[in-house]
A and B are shown apart, each in its own frame.
Chain A
Amino acid sequence: MGNSGQEIILSIKNVSKSFPGVKALDQVSLEVRRGTVHGIVGENGAGKSTLMKILSGVYQKDSGTIIFDGEDIKSTTPIQSMKRGLSIIYQELNLVNTMSVGENIFLGRFSEMGGMRGVHAKAKELLKSIGSNIDTYKLVSELSVSEKQMVEIAKALSFDSKLIIMDEPSSSLTADEMKELAKIIHHLKDKGISIIYISHKLDEIFEFCSVVTIMRDGHVIDTKPISEITRAEMIAKMVGRPIENEYPERPNCVGETLMEVRSINTKKLHNISFKLRKGEILGFVGLVGAGRTEIVRAIFGADKVKGHEILIDGKPVKIKNPRDAKKAGIAFVPEDRKLQGLVLPFTVESNISMANLDKITRFGFLNRSAERGMAEKHVKALGIKTPSIKTKVRNLSGGNQQKCVVGRWMETNPRILILDEPTRGIDVGAKYEIYLLMKKIAESGGSIILISSELPEVLNMSNRVLTICDGRITGEFDPRTASADQIMEKALEFCRKDLEHERAN
């Protein structure tokens, strides 16, 4: 293999791809050099994922040429492209939870490795080469998200990958895990492996990538060395218009107490009590798995929890299931919109109406025109980009899907809106619109609980922040005065003690 850093490993020329009614890619051209990290940014629906799926062989291109490592690739399957040295690591990792790390890395190739002993030895070696010492006999289900990612990368390396595509690798990583990922990326670069890095988080693009390609509406808008572009330019090119701020001004209209939660205790949660005020945005900060989601699920009646008390306007309310919560004026936008939020094969219309069917029912019969009106109202109010309200929600981009879930709950006129990772995997423009919506709700007297793994988002939007670690509330901050470090310290309180404990032993 040549040692020239300028050699082109992947060349895409005029590639187009259409789906019924949509031109997903239009004459896309792109070159990736060997041993570089090439960033791709763009709003949801810009065509990034389609392009990657064509590269990995999930979809076939309609026209254009793809040359990978000097070979003209006409059509391919995922296995073929993996064997050629092109691996893709998807956002939702593809590992078998019930099998060990080593088995996952060499899945289906046990005999080639000379049995299980060979598998584990080789797996250990691969993991070591990217600076990781995960026990290869451990089950994948016991790993953290970042460890799983490492296993995926080791798997990619086991195919002698020359190019690894990482699709939103950081969307569920914490700050510490991010540092691990950064290290791995450096390792890979040093080995001469090219990386295509897709992310919505522009900080990462600036940190890792040497070249960035910006896509919008199925076109490549620009490809530039990272040193020659600013953050603002990048955003402007992504959304097609300049955006002045990433966050709107923080709403400031906190009133008296609206809801009081008293002592939620479960296996995972310990003595969770807090108050939520009128017009307040209350941020929950903590690691993934700290219990943030469990708290709001308990409040919303999604998990069976007993013994706690919830008071709204000083009066106790019984919430046994999401129906009760809805009646009490609570709305919940769950973290995984595809699995928990939407009914993907259904229309935009029925996804919006589904929390409000009682409203349009008379004597058991649905009023279809009222349903249509309801859907149209929210498509318009939230600017949901969809060909029609009869379009299946599956065909919308992430941001627009999220707006459908939000619209559904807006129709219920909630007094308390719980947003669990509301901007995960959605683009800058749509994020800003969600922030504006939050502001509007708070200013009209509603209260919001915001859970997010993106600290800047919580810090910029909340009136008050609670830190949660290991199922406990460990601190309360005013984000206007507290620093990010102070807050993270509290959010990691117990984990840090654990670490110190481990080190001491």
Chain B
Amino acid sequence: MRERINFKNVIQTVFRDYLVLAAIVLLVIITSIVEPKFLTTGNLTNIMRQFGPLIMVALGMTFVIICGFIDLSVSGILSLVAVVTISLIEPLGQVGALIVGMLLGTFCGYLNSVLILASGAMKQAEALFITYGMSTIYGALALIYSGGRTKQMSIVKADTSIFSAIGTGTVGILSVSFIMFLVCLLLLYIFQSKTYMGRTIYLTGGNKTAAELAGIPIKRSIALVYTISGLMTALGAIVLFSRVTAASPVIGKGYETNAILAVVVGGTTLIGGNGSVLRTVLGTTLVILMSNCLNLLGVSVYMQYMLKGAILVLAIWLDSRKQL
């Protein structure tokens, strides 16, 4: 009788770990009842395609947040990679453009970490401002490079079959971009849970001082997470402009907040040291499903912004409650 189960704690754990899943199920049930269009193949394919760009960015962001930092530069990198890649299809061919695009994103991410380490920024807030500044720079570079013009894929005088496949192709019932996501998820999950570098990222996020004093290469972890974030953002950019078949120099706008939203809603805490790419998949699913459902239900875009903001605040509030 004395060893009573602490219900508050059990509820907290359930709330923490399964809330997102419950929300997703609830959302699917309610929307499919209210709006039968929701469960049609067309809509589901649509959801799968929308999923592609955001999940790539959010997966990269997950590691930055696990490491105890944050990356606001993804919107700038996304725009820059998109306009550069699409412009290089003609001169370099599509494989060349793809490779250069990915290298560019990786380099931009790495550059962030170099600046962060050089300035000795060891706090999330400092990284927030540095990456915000870098985002502005990358965004401006995208505008300068493209002359502010949106480039359509249809006017590219070269073979764009790979990009079309990424944008609209399917293998069986799965879209190509979804398969790309599955491959990335698998690799990143193995990286996260099985490798030395993955572990050092968690330890760095858990306690930088203790990790450094135990001989963990924390600077390498920090450089690595930003580089991964840059690479994943480049992949996101490629998936995105392939789907919309055009690259505007402001195509990445809003992706940083959505990615952070997806990571935090998934349950990776902003304080660092814990979280998982699997959680981010749940978080991203919720974010994408929500906007899809709200669109189907005819809720205005402005209202959707408000809801998203509210959910981010709620997620961060729950997040800080967890630390008790």
Contact = CB atoms under 8 A, between A and B. Distances in A.
A75 interface: no
Contacts of B194: 365-366, 368
Nearest to A333: B213
A354 B215 CA distance: 8
Contact of A20 (B9, B209, B210): B9
A354 B197 contact: no
B206 interface: yes
Nearest to A323: B215
B211 A361 contact: no
Contact of A343 (B3, B196, B203, B215): B203
- The listed residue with most A CB atoms (<10 A of its CB), out of B197, B214, B217, is B214
B157 interface: no
Contact of B212 (A302, A345, A368): A302
Contacts of A302: 212-213
Contact of A322 (B2, B4, B206, B214): B214
Contacts of B211: 343, 354
A350 B199 contact: yes
Interface in A288-345: 300, 302, 321-323, 325-326, 332, 334, 339-345
A267 to B, nearest CB: 18
Contacts of A364: 195-197
A355 B215 contact: yes
Contacts of B197: 364
Contact of B6 (A20, A341, A408): A20
Interface in B203-240: 203, 206-207, 209-217
Contacts of B195: 364-366
B213 to A, nearest CB: 5
B207 A342 contact: yes
B274 interface: yes
Nearest to A367: B194
Q: B interface, how many residues as a size bin?
A: 20 to 34
Contact of B214 (A18, A20, A361, A408): A408
Contacts, number: 78
A368 B207 CA distance: 21
A175 B203 CA distance: 38
B200 to A, nearest CB: 7
A274 interface: no
Interface string B1-23: 01110100100000000000000
Interface in A355-384: 355, 357-358, 361, 364-366, 368
Nearest to B274: A345
B276 to A, nearest CB: 14
A348 to B, nearest CB: 14
A183 interface: no
A137 interface: no
B273 interface: yes
Interface string B222-260: 000000000000000000000000000000000000000
A339 B4 CA distance: 33
Interface pairs A-B: 5 shortest CB-CB: A343-B206, A326-B215, A355-B214, A361-B196, A343-B207
18 contacts: A19-B6, A20-B6, A23-B2, A300-B213, A321-B215, A322-B212, A322-B213, A323-B215, A334-B213, A341-B210, A342-B210, A346-B206, A346-B273, A350-B199, A357-B199, A357-B216, A364-B197, A366-B199
Interface of A: 16, 18-20, 23, 300, 302, 321-323, 325-326, 332, 334, 339-346, 350, 354-355, 357-358, 361, 364-366, 368, 408
Given A18-B3, A355-B214, A357-B216, 19 more contacts: A19-B6, A321-B212, A322-B212, A325-B215, A332-B213, A340-B209, A340-B213, A341-B210, A342-B207, A343-B207, A344-B207, A345-B273, A345-B274, A346-B203, A346-B273, A350-B199, A350-B202, A357-B200, A365-B194
